[in-house]
Structures are given as C-alpha cells and as structure tokens.
Amino acid sequence: MIVPLLKCFNPSLPPIFILRNSAVKSAPTSLNRIAAIDIGTNTILLLASAWDGKTLHPLLEKERIARLGEGVHQRATLSKEAMERGLQVLKEYLTDCQRLGIQRVFAAGTSALREARNANEFLNEVKEKLNLSIDIISGEEEARLSYLAVSKDLKEEAKRILVADVGGGSTELILGFREKMTHWVSLPMGSVRYTEQFLHSDPVRPKEWREMENEIEKTLENASSFQTPDLMVSVGGTATTLAQVEMGLSEFNPRKIHHFKLTQEAIRRQILLYRSKTQEQRKTIQGLSPLRADVILAGATILYKIMETMNCHEVMISCHGVRYGLLYSKLSNTAK
C-alpha cells in the first residue's frame, strides 16, 4: 500500500511512551524503502528499512506499549480504549513512514487479534481512518517469521537452534537447523495473559506464582518432542527487557542487547527480585520500563521454565523478531 497523508495528533489524547526509538540512519535514497509493523498483545513495533536487493538497512525502529490485548483473554473482545491506543500508535508510525519516504508498509496482527471476536472492528477502523491493511497471522506463521528473522541473522551458525518468542498473549517455540524450521508450536501463554490470569496480588503471593509456574510446566508438555538445541535464542520484549535489566541500561540499546547472552541463573535472580517487590517498587529498577512492571514477572518465569525444560543454561537475546521476518518474507515473495 501507499502510505496516506495523515492529520496531526490530537494533543488532548494521553501520551504513549516511547520505549525504543533508534536513531534514524542515513541510506541512499535510491534504495527501496519498506516498513513492517508487528501488532502484538502488549506492544506494537515498527521497523522502517531500506533494501538494497540483498540486505535490510534499518532506518528507524520504535516500540510502544499499547496493551491492545488488555482483557482479551477473559472476555474475547478488544476494549474501545485499547483500540484507540492501538489506532494512535499506528497513526504515529505512518507519520514516521511518510517522513522517511517509505513506499510500502506491511502490518501483521498476532495473538490478541487472533482471539478477539471484534478484531474486524479494529481492522476496519484502521483501514478506514489510516488506509492501512492488517493481516492477522496464524500461530504457525508467527513462528515461521520469528525463526526466519533469527536464521537470517545467524546464517553462519551451523547449529540446531531453538527460538523462543515470548509475547504478551502467546509463546512460539521453533526448532530448526540453519534456515530450515523442523518443529514448531504456538502456546497460549504470554506475559499479559498469565498476569491477568494468575497474578492478582501486589506484591504477588507465593501461591499465585506457583499456580502460574505449574500451568507453564503443563503447557510446555506440548513441546516434549523438542530436542535440546545447540543454541537457544529468544526474541520479544520480555527477552530484551531481561537483558536490559541485567546490564543496568538506562535506555534501550540494541547494539548492546542484540546477541547478549543471559544465563538461567541470571533470570532466576530477576524472578526473585520481581516477586519481592510491588509494581510501584519494580518501576524503580534500572532498565525496566514502568509500562512493563506489571507483566515482567510472568514473562521472565515463562522464559526461565522454557530454558529449564529444554535443558538450556543460557539464551542469546535477539532484537530481530516478527517484523524482521515479515520484511524478509515479503521481499522473498517479491523476488520470485
């Protein structure tokens, strides 16, 4: 699609915080300029990039916590407030794309839009107001795109790789060798879903956390056929946040976080830290966005239990998730 002209933001709307906003890099204007938007349960992410026929050259990356899937797993519908938050983020992103001279924008919706009975209401509103089409992708396609992004990044690795994409509403586990995906599963567990389902006290009570832990273990039985990988990689906001906290970074720095390795023990220490604090106290932790303070415990526990189940003592953190895979996939189809 061609990005439309947009009106200015309504200044009366509540602000949406920038969590990631990489510096805009220069790139030859002759290159194709394309963008991908990953619309998740918790976050909406933008990757604007130039393409030289072989390589993606990122121009701008942004993340917003819109919490589009707030309450979806209880009532199976998107709230009016959540849809408005999502709409405003998308409006902002398209303004960015217009400024950068982006020629095509691809948008993919995941868990929350898959489950919400009124997802079409949101899609129609976005199409009508922003002229942006959103494709709701299946769990299998989400897994494929996550693995594609990681395998392109680690194409020299001649190893069996496990990719864990811990999202707000679902978690995808993908096992493969180089660029070939051999096993995959999309599991109904995520940081927002399990926070809403289990963690109702503040601070979290031990019983609540144990009930969540038991549910994670039960859910991971669906991945019992997976072999222990040579390398485990995790994508998504939970993984990058854990790395950011471990390094004590005051702001998101993809150059430091991308390919950083977290041990199982380091994640266990963070889990204990989050369990010991109220949500307000968590907001003071260096590296933890205040907007993730409520869901980070569930996300960290999910990733930890995956590592424990798969017998992985460390995990490589990747900043290349679904949005990268989406662009690689679209570019590959265009080249055929």
Is residue 221 within 8 Å of residue 169, measured between CB atoms? no
Residue ranges, CATH 3.30.420.40, the chain: 18-136
Question: What's the CA angle centered on 250, arms 246 and 252, to 5 degrees?
Answer: 80
Domain 142-317 has CATH 3.40.50.720: no
pLDDT at residue 335, rounded to an integer: 54
CA distance 316 to 200: 31
**In a structure prediction context, what are the per-residue pLDDT tens digits for the chain, which is 336 residues long?**
333 323 322 323 333 334 445 444 444 444 699 999 999 999 999 999 999 888 899 999 999 999 999 999 889 999 999 999 999 999 999 999 999 999 999 999 999 999 999 999 999 999 999 999 999 999 999 999 999 999 999 987 768 999 999 999 999 999 999 889 999 999 999 999 999 999 999 999 999 999 999 999 999 999 988 989 999 999 999 999 999 999 999 888 888 999 999 999 999 999 999 999 999 999 999 999 999 999 999 999 999 999 999 999 999 999 999 999 999 999 987 655
pLDDT at residue 333, rounded to an integer: 74
Is residue 315 within 8 Å of residue 307, measured between CB atoms? yes
Taking the CA of residue 178 as centre, how many other CA atoms within 13 Å lie in the half-sphere pointing to its CB?
Answer: 3
What does the longest C-alpha to C-alpha distance in the chain come to? 59
Residue ranges, CATH 3.30.420.150, the chain: 142-317
pTM: 0.89
Residue 288: φ, ψ to 5°: -100, 115
Residue 98, both tokens: 């217009």
Residue 154: partners with Cβ closer than 8 Å, 6 or more residues away: 161, 231, 233
Residue 174, both tokens: 């993908």
DSSP run (H or E) holding 127: helix 119-130
DSSP run (H or E) holding 5: none
Residue 328, both tokens: 């690689």
Best CA proximity match to 190, nearest among 208, 215, 223, 207: 215
CA 191 to chain centre: 11
Residue 322: partners with Cβ closer than 8 Å, 6 or more residues away: 36, 38, 45, 108, 110, 142, 145, 146, 149, 165, 235
Domain 18-136 has CATH 3.40.190.10: no
Determine whether 231 is exposed, middle or buried from the number of CB atoms within 10 Å of its CB (0-12, 13-18, 19+).
middle
